[in-house]
A and B are shown apart, each in its own frame.
Chain A
Amino acid sequence: NAGVTQTPKFQVLKTGQSMTLQCAQDMNHEYMSWYRQDPGMGLRLIHYSVGAGITDQGEVPNGYNVSRSTTEDFPLRLLSAAPSQTSVYFCASSDPGFGEQYFGPGTRLTVT
């Protein structure tokens, strides 16, 4: 039981490049979400999903896309990276109905 896994751990992009951050969980959780963490800003919700085929926007969705084709996977796509997207990204999963959230180890992204 690996819990929530994220790849890569570190990534450096140039402005304008695109990439996908991967997130997978093996706990059969319906709810998955993506956060970004910036110094002094806490965790800000980017997108979330309540089940396969269902996604919704969080607090800061601009510049990011998500899809949820399976229960296990919830990738986050950066379409055209900008320096403002330099951050640490966390994926989390939980049971529905206000469940405890399990976080992945994070991806540290730098956009130059």
Chain B
Amino acid sequence: GQQVMQIPQYQHVQEGEDFTTYCNSSTTLSNIQWYKQRPGGHPVFLIQLVKSGEVKKQKRLTFQFGEAKKNSSLHITATQTTDVGTYFCAAYWYSSASKIIFGSGTRLSIRP
């Protein structure tokens, strides 16, 4: 079935260090979304990528969609304690337009 692999599962960084999480699919995606979930909370939408090679920035967060639309990444520059949480990618495929599949998430913890 359709699935998207997300790595790493955990990342523990010193405050101020950078952080990156990756999502990979074996088949071409139509688009990909990224969500953040704070501990004890619910997922909150961050961004959507649609075009091949697309790069979007939100302050210290940079989102990329691969040229082949099979992979995506989220990079946080100079992490802050407010960045703590789990980051999920969520993928759509052309063959099942209404069905969104989430990656397993990357949990980010930060040493102050």
Tally of chain B residues near chain A (CB < 8 A): 25
Binds B, one of A18-26, A68-76, A77-85, A94-102: A94-102
- CB of B59 closer than 8 Å to a CB of A: no
Determine the residue in chain A with the shortest Cβ distance to B42.
A103
Contact of B101 among A45, A50, A98, A101 (CB under 8 A): A45
- Highest count of chain A CB atoms <10 Å: which of B6, B88, B100: B100
Q: Assess whether A44 is interfacial by the CB under 8 Å rule.
A: yes
Q: Interface size for chain A: under 10, 10 to 19, 20 to 34, or 35 or more residues?
A: 20 to 34
How distant is the Cα of A45 from the Cα of B19 in the complex, in angstroms?
27
Verify B48–A100 contact, CB threshold 8 A: yes
- CB within 8 Å for A42 and B48 given contacts A48-B99, A96-B98: no
Question: How long is the Cα–Cα vector from A40 to B102 in the complex, in angstroms?
Answer: 12
| Chain B residues positioned under 8 Å from A56 (CB to CB) | 98-99
Q: Which of the residues B43, B45, B48, B92 comes within 8 Å of A90, measured between beta carbons?
A: B43
Q: How far is the CA of A42 from the CA of B34 in the complex (A)?
A: 13
* Residues in B lying within 8 Å of A, measured CB to CB: 1, 6, 9, 30-31, 33, 35, 42-45, 48, 50, 88, 90, 92, 97-105
13 A-B contacts, Cβ less than 8 Å apart? A42-B88, A42-B102, A42-B103, A43-B43, A43-B88, A43-B105, A45-B99, A45-B102, A48-B98, A58-B99, A101-B33, A101-B35, A103-B44
